Amino acid sequence: MLGLAKGLGYTLRRLTEKKVTYRYPDVPVKMPDRFRGIQHFDPDKCIVCHQCERICPTQCINLTGKPHPDPTKKGKVIDTYDINFEICILCDLCTEVCPTEAIVMTNNFELAAYSRDELFKDREWLAANNTNVRSENSTNLLPGGKKS
C-alpha cells in the first residue's frame, strides 16, 4: 500500500518537471560541433585535385575542372561540383581528405524532400549552404595549424 502511494507521489512530482523533449520543428536543434551534416563547398578554395571524388565510398561526388582563366597561372579551377544526396552517407571522408578545406561539414541536416531530384545538389547550392559551418576542421594537418 505504501509502495502505491510512493509511486503516485513520484509521478505527481514529475508532472510539473522540466520536459526533456526538444521543440524541434519550432526551435532548431543545435547539433554538437563535429556533427556530420550537409557539406558546404567553397569553389574559390578548390584546386580540382579529385581526392574527394576518389575517396568517396559511395561515388556520390562528381566534379569537373577547367583550365585557369588566367593563362599565366598553372592548374585548374572548378567547373561543376555535384553531390548526390540520395547515396551520400555523410561519412566525412571528403572533408577529411580535402587539402584546402574547400569542402567542409556543416551542422545542417534537413534533407527531406518530396522528389528524389531535389536531393541532387550542385555547386551553387552547396556554396549557398554556408550556415552552421563546422568551426573545427582538419586544418591542423597543414603547416601553420588552424586558420580562421
Helix (H, G, I), strand (E, B) or coil at 102: coil
Q: Is 10 in the site for another protein (CB under 8 A)?
A: yes
Instruction: Please identify which residue in 20, 69, 110, 145 interacts with another protein, judged by CB under 8 A.
Output: 20
Q: Residue 40 carries which side chain, given as an amino acid letter?
A: H
Please, what sign has the CA dihedral across residues 126, 128, 133, 139?
positive
Q: Which residues of 5-27 are buried (b: 16+ CB within 10 A; e: fewer)?
A: eeeeeeeeeeeeeeeeeeeeeee
Residue 14 within binding range of another protein, rule CB under 8 A? yes
Q: 74 or 112: whose CB is closer to another protein? A: 112
Q: For residue 114, state whether it binds another protein (rule: CB under 8 A).
A: no
Build a one-symbol-per-residue string for 36-65: x at contacts with another protein by CB under 8 A, - elsewhere: ------------------------------
Q: How many residues bind another protein (CB under 8 A)?
A: 14
Stretch that binds another protein, among 2-10, 43-51, 58-66, 136-144 (CB under 8 A): 2-10
Please give the grid coordinates belonging to residue 103: 569542402
Q: Does 27 bind another protein (CB under 8 A)?
A: no
Element (H, E) at 104: strand 103-105
Tell me the three cell numbers of residue 112: 527531406
* Site residues, another protein (CB under 8 A): 4, 7-8, 10-12, 14-21
